[in-house]
Chains A and B, each alone.
Chain A
Amino acid sequence: KAGVTQTPRYLIKTRGQQVTLSCSPISGHRSVSWYQQTPGQGLQFLFEYFSETQRNKGNFPGRFSGRQFSNSRSEMNVSTLELGDSALYLCASSPGTGGTEAFFGQGTRLTVV
C-alpha cells in the first residue's frame, strides 16, 4: 500500500504570495488532517477533512484554508504569506471511522522570504 504523499516537498515563497500544498492519503482512507510543525511550537493542528467536509478546525487565521476532493485527496492553501508561516506542513490520513491511528506524509517544507 502506498503511503501518504505530499507535494511539493520544498517551497520557497515571498511574503504576500499564496501557496497550495497537496496531500494524497492512503488508499481507502477518508480522513485527512493538516498540521503545522515548527521547532518552537511543535505540532499545531490546522484542520481535518472527512468525505469532503471539514470536521475539525484548529486556531489558525482565515488565511489558512483547505479542501478535500471526492477521491480523498486534499489541498491546503495559505494566502498572503507571512514570514511566520515558514514551517513544515504535515498531512496525515486515517480511515476516519473506527481506526484512529494517523499515518503521516513526509511533509512540505515551506520557507517564506
Chain B
Amino acid sequence: AQRVTQPEKLLSVFKGAPVELKCNYSYSGSPELFWYVQYSRQRLQLLLRHISRESIKGFTADLNKGETSFHLKKPFAQEEDSAMYYCARGPMDSNYQLIWGAGTKLIIKP
C-alpha cells in the first residue's frame, strides 16, 4: 500500500537544539512531497515542498530517493516551532489525493 510513515508521534527537544522530524514514503518513483504544519489554534498550512528547495522558518527537507525519506530539519529549534507537523506525498497516477503521515507533535522546551 502507498504509505507515508512518520515514526515519532511526539518529539520533544530543548530550545536551541537541532530538530529532525522523520518521514518515509513507500513509493519508489518520483513523488511530490510536502511538509505541513499546524500551530495551536491555527489552520493546517504548507511549510515547504521538496520541489521548491527553499528554507522556510529555518526548516529544510531533502528528498533522499535511495532511502525514500524526506526528513524535516532545523539546526536550532525555537519555542515558536512547537506545533503538529505532517508529511504528505502528492497524488500519483490517477489517484488524486494526498497521502498523509500520522503526524509528529513537536514540543520545544525552554
Contact = CB atoms under 8 A, between A and B. Distances in A.
A43 B103 contact: yes
A104 B43 contact: yes
Nearest to A41: B102
Interface stretch (B18-26, B65-73, B91-99): B91-99
B103 A31 contact: no
Contacts of B86: 42-43
A92 B45 CA distance: 10
Nearest to A50: B96
Given A42-B103, A43-B86, A43-B103, A104 B44 contact: yes
Interface of B: 32, 34, 36, 43-46, 49, 86, 88, 90-91, 95-98, 100-103
Contact of A48 (B49, B97, B103): B97
Contact of A106 (B34, B43, B90): B43
B2 to A, nearest CB: 12
A100 B103 contact: no
A45 B100 contact: yes
Contact of B32 (A3, A45, A92, A100): A100
Interface in A60-82: none
B38 to A, nearest CB: 9
A25 interface: no
A100 B96 CA distance: 9
A92 B96 CA distance: 13
A105 B43 contact: yes
A42 B102 contact: yes
A48 B96 contact: yes
A92 B46 CA distance: 12
CB-based closest 10 A-B pairs: A104-B44, A100-B90, A42-B102, A56-B97, A42-B103, A43-B100, A104-B43, A106-B43, A55-B96, A48-B97
